[in-house]
Amino acid sequence: MTLSTSNVDMERAQREQRERRMPGDAGRPLSQSRGVMRTARIVSTVLVALWFALPFLPLVLWSFANSWSAPDVLPMSVGTDGLTAAIANGAVAAFGDSLLLSLIVAAIATPVGAMAARALSRHGLPFGRLVSVLLFSPVLLPPFAAVLGINVVLLRAWVPPEIGVILVLVVVAIPYTTFSMLVAYAAYDDGFDEAARTLGATSRFALWRIHLPLIAPALARSAFLAFLVGWSDYLVTLVVGGGQLVTLPLIIASSASGIGNESSVAVLSLSAVIPPLILLGLVSRARNLNPGRQS
Amino acid sequence: MTSETMSGESASPESMTSAITLTAVTKTYSAASPAALQGVNLDILPGTSTAIVGPSGSGKSTILRIIAGLEDANGGRVRLAGRDVTTLLPEDRGIAMVFQRPLLFPHLTVLDNVAFADRAAGLSRAQARKRARKHLELVHMAEFGGRSPHSLSGGQQQRVAVARALAAKPSVLLLDEPFSALDSGLKGDMHAMIAEIREAVNPTILFVTHDRDEASAMAERIVVLENGQLLQHDTVDHVFHRPASLAVARLLGGKNAFEGTIENGVHHSGLGAVAIDADVEPGPATLVFRHEAVTSTLRQPTSGTDAAALATRHADAAACQRSGPRALHGIVTATVQRGPRREVIVRVADAEVHTEAAPGRPLAVGDLVTVSLPCEALWAVPRQ
């Protein structure tokens, strides 16, 4: 009898699974556009896609153009001169430095942001509002003024420039990691941790086997944002780094200020664009395992 | 000690110490709010199943969370099998808890969910899974081990949650409204499952429910809680038929309560004189009885007068058993169908009595009926 109940249960579960569609899901009457609106939707999608993609076309063409002058629509000769020039300019080392810097910033800012968000998402944090204002203040300050001011402090404190860059960039990244983790924790069910503990798991075991796997997708998104802060920074690396740290954006800027090296600038720009795109692909592939708060 | 309770060999004298003992447990969430628990004392014997019932906010779940170690009590002690666990972390208490939501870990398969407690205890994956399979069999979910939790229905998920808790070999199994989200048919299956589990592994069960039927279906004892105070802890039968106070009678759905006074074992109220067997102090008291225990039958012209005469004759007899069951005459003022049962409200003298219709011709408003009050159903509580 119980067996047949289970089968009925299973069929019901499968049916519910099929029918579990949200009101805004594609294919629902309310989300389907018709007639003129349908045309407008397709046209606007194509326009936005072009807006995002078109700038990359000349970039790709320039990367492989050995020579390309005004009246010609396409490069006159194709080759790897740009790549050679970029490498000669120190692109490989700069790429490595950029990668290392961004990874370090992400590795520090992500756990700090996650812990801050965890604390803020729980009620009863003393001075919670003040803490969140402080955490988000780096986003509000005008970067140039702040960086110049901080640089004086760092110089006086004899902080090595590389450490200084990391310190400042981590502070810049923390609001982003904190905010993205706050969103994740708002949907996180503490019951999972409680269930784990009542089943005999120590806090460490519950953290590694339950908590972290459940928030992993959010951590990946958060780390991606922190990575971008390090990867795209120019100002902090230039001012605080004082030339000690030469990252990709610095090389791009110096190359772009010269004349006649368009193709090497294009190669550098592409190499700056590709890693975040790969990361974005990886992050969006991360399966969201946490079903959120169960009702 | 925990394995003893689990394997059903709990009859040894040492293990007959209480499974759970709460001493003067107090809990206040904030200075502004009233105390969630006010000096609760509770004693639960091993191998028993006890239900905690009470209105929302009465502190039912708080008791479980304090026993589990998920909340700290502000005062009092918690002992499990004689061991003081008041300051221990949840993982060191030897309990397991099933929550209202199944809370199956979504990144683990059903089998690995059930194997979690053994993995946490340091068993190898293979050993833990082997044991987990046995526990899945216990809840009739053996064939679902490889599935992902979200592919199961709510009832199946809760079965797995129970198996997962049992796999932790708890000395005490705590259930916090575990089946309240399920429809009534599934609830029945769950109650049957709990009965099977009790037969197989005999754990001490303490569960919270707001469903009186569930409390009596799954437990032999009931704890009644209101405003953080323990009102009564007794057998199911006593809590329903021998409530400690009017509040208990009301909380358990008692509909008949008549204020009056007791003299010589007879309660006098708007209902008339009713002899009570219970040993009650003379003075102000409220007569209570379950409407399910009293039946209304269509009044027969001859026997009706007999019954009335009988009742009058013995009105001031000392005890109900000697005088025979009390029969009252009244007129039906309303009827309410509740599933297969029919509740009949009868006006007797100045009072309204909630009764059950006896099998036979359905009663209608205006019918003259005889309400018979069995001696066992009658009870009086001190007037507050």
Q: Give the domains, in start order, of chain B with CATH numbers.
A: 20-240 (3.40.50.300), 254-302+322-382 (2.40.50.140)
Does A139 map to a domain? yes
Please judge whether B103 and A202 are an interchain contact, meaning their C-beta atoms are less than 8 angstroms apart. no
> Percent of chain A at pLDDT above 90?
38
Whether the per-residue pLDDT at B93 is higher than 80: the answer is yes
Q: Give per-residue burial for B97-122: e unless 16+ CB within 10 Å, then b.
A: bbbbbbbbbbbbbbbbbbbbbbbbbe
Q: What is the mean pLDDT of residues B223-228?
A: 94
CB atoms A200 and B91 under 8 Å: yes
Domain count for chain A: 1
Query: With an 8 Å Cβ cutoff, is B96 touching chain A?
Result: yes
Distance from CA of A275 to the nearest CA of B (A): 29
Question: Considering CB atoms only, which of B91, B101, B120 is closest to A294?
Answer: B101
Contacting B residues, span 170-199, partner chain A, CB-CB under 8 Å: 174, 186, 189, 192-193
pLDDT given at position B316: 44
Residue A166 near residue A229 (C-beta atoms within 8 A): no
Q: Does the pLDDT value for residue B284 go beyond 80?
A: yes
- Of all residues in chain A, the one with the smallest CA distance to B170 is A199
Q: Supply B259's token pair.
A: 């204020």
Q: Do A191 and B105 touch (CB under 8 A)?
A: no
Average pLDDT, chain A: 84
pLDDT tens digits for B132-142? 999 999 999 99
Cβ contact (<8 Å) for B120 and A200? yes
Residue B338 and residue A282: Cα distance in Å, rounded? 58
Q: Which residue of B has its CA nearest to A215?
A: B107
Strand, coil or helix: B267: strand
What is residue B144's predicted lDDT score, i.e. its pLDDT? 95
The residue with greater pLDDT, B353 or A1, is: B353
pLDDT tens by residue, B114-159: 999 999 999 999 999 999 999 999 999 999 999 999 999 999 999 9
DSSP per-residue letters across chain A: -HHHHHHHHHHHHHHHHHH---TTSTTSGGG---HHHHHHHHHHHHHHHHHHHTTHHHHHHHHTEEE--TT-SS-SEE-SHHHHHHHHTTHHHHHHHHHHHHHHHHHHHHHHHHHHHHHHHSTT-TTHHHHHHHHHHHHHS-HHHHHHHHHHHHHHTT--HHHHHHHHHHHHHHHHHHHHHHHHHHT--THHHHHHHHTT--HHHHIIIIIHHHHHHHHHHHHHHHHHHHHT--HHHHHTTTTSS--HHHHHHHHHHSSS-HHHHHHHHHHHHHHHHHHHHHHHHS------S--
Pairwise CB contact (< 8 Å): A289 & B107: yes
Whether A54 is covered by a domain: the verdict is no
pLDDT of amino acid B68: 96
* CA neighbours closer than 13 Å in the CB half-sphere of residue B298: 9
Q: How confident is the model at residue A205 (pLDDT cuts 50, 70, 90)?
A: very high
Q: What is the mean pLDDT of residues B249-275?
A: 89
Per the CB < 8 Å rule, is A13 touching B153? yes
Name the percent of chain B lying above pLDDT 70.
89
Residue owning tokens 């007794």: B234
Q: A40 lies in a domain?
A: no
Q: Which of A6, A199, A210 to substitute to test the interface with B, most B CBs within 10 Å? A: A199
The sign one gets for the Cα dihedral A149, A155, A156, A159 is positive
Contact (Cβ atoms closer than 8 angstroms) between residue B141 and residue B157: no
Distance from CA of A184 to the nearest CA of B (A): 16
DSSP 8-class letter at B11: T
pLDDT band at A293 (very low <50, low <70, confident <90, very high): very low
Closest chain A C-alpha to B115 CA, distance in angstroms: 10
Secondary structure (3-state) at B162: helix
- pTM value? 0.81
Kindly state the average pLDDT of the residues B23-44. 89
Does any domain span residue A238?
A: yes
Whether the pLDDT of residue A77 is over 80: the answer is no
Cβ–Cβ below 8 Å for B120 and A199: yes
Q: Give the CA distances from residue B338 to residues B248, B292, B344, B345, in Å, rounded to whole numbers and listed in that order.
A: 22, 11, 10, 13
Q: Do A192 and B105 touch (CB under 8 A)?
A: yes
Per-residue pLDDT band for A26 (boundaries 50, 70, 90) equals low
Q: What is the mean pLDDT of residues A98-127?
A: 91
Nearest to B140 among A6, A14, A189 (CB): A6
A277 contacts: CB under 8 Å, gap ≥ 6: none
In a domain, A240, yes or no: yes
Query: Which chain B residues are closer than 8 Å to A203 by Cβ?
Result: 89
Q: Is B116's CB within 8 Å of A199's CB?
A: yes
Structural domain range at position A204: 98-245
B213-232 burial, b if ≥16 CB within 10 A, otherwise e?
Answer: ebbbbbbebbbbbbbbbbbb
With respect to residue A17, please indicate whether it lies within any of the assigned structural domains.
no
Task: Please check whether residue B59 is in contact with residue B96, taking contact to mean a CB–CB distance below 8 angstroms.
Answer: no
Residue B50: pLDDT above 70?
Answer: yes
- Chain A CB contacts of B167 under 8 Å are 199
Please identify among residues 262-321 of chain B the ones whose CB lies closer than 8 Å to any CB of chain A. none
From chain A, the residues in CB contact with B151 under 8 A are 13-14, 17
Query: Taking a contact as any Cβ pair under 8 Å apart, which residues of chain B between 115 and 154 contact chain A?
Result: 116-117, 119-121, 140-141, 143-144, 150-153
ipTM (interface predicted TM):
0.83
**CATH number for the domain that contains residue A141:** 1.10.3720.10
Q: Which residue has the tokens 């906010």?
A: B57
**What residues in A contact B158, CB-CB < 8 Å?**
none
Q: How much is the mean pLDDT over chain B?
A: 87
Of B97, B99, B152, the CB nearest to A13: B152
Nearest by CB to residue A197, choosing from B90, B121, B186, is B90
- Flag whether A103 is in a domain: yes
The pLDDT of residue A74 is 76
- B16 vs A152 pLDDT, higher one: A152
Could you give phi then psi for residue B98, rounded to 5 degrees? -110, 130
Residue identified by tokens 């010609």 is: A72
What was the pLDDT predicted at B306? Answer: 47
Cα A232 from Cα B152, distance rounded (Å): 45
With an 8 Å Cβ cutoff, are B117 and A291 in contact? no
Nearest-CA distance from A107 to chain B in Å? 24
How confident is the model at residue B317, as a pLDDT?
A: 45
Chain A residues touching B99 at Cβ < 8 A: 191, 194-195
State the average pLDDT over residues A274-282. Answer: 89
For chain B, state the CA radius of gyration.
25
What residues of chain A have any CB closer than 8 angstroms to a CB in chain B? 2-3, 5-6, 9-10, 12-14, 16-17, 189, 191-192, 194-203, 205, 209-210, 213-214, 289-291, 294-295
Q: Which residue of A has its CA nearest to B159?
A: A6
Q: Does any domain span residue A93?
A: no
Residues A227-256 as b/e (b if ≥16 CB within 10 A, e otherwise) read bbbbbebeebbbbbbeeebbbbbbbbeebe
Lowest mean pLDDT among A74-83, B40-49, B66-75, B324-333: A74-83
Q: Hey, are the CB atoms on B151 and A17 less than 8 Å from each other?
A: yes
Confidence (pLDDT) at A152: 86
A10, A191, A210: residue with CB nearest B99: A191
**Region class of B256: left (phi > 0), else alpha (psi between -120 and 50), else beta:** beta
Structure confidence by residue, pLDDT tens digits, A141-185: 887 888 888 888 888 888 888 899 999 999 999 999 999 999 999
**A65 strand-pairing partners:** A78
Minimal CA separation from B118 to chain A, in Å: 8
Interchain pair A294, B141: CB under 8 A: no
Tell me phi and psi for residue B95, to 5 degrees.
Answer: -115, 170
Contacts of A86 (CB under 8 A, 6+ apart): A255, A264, A267, A268, A271
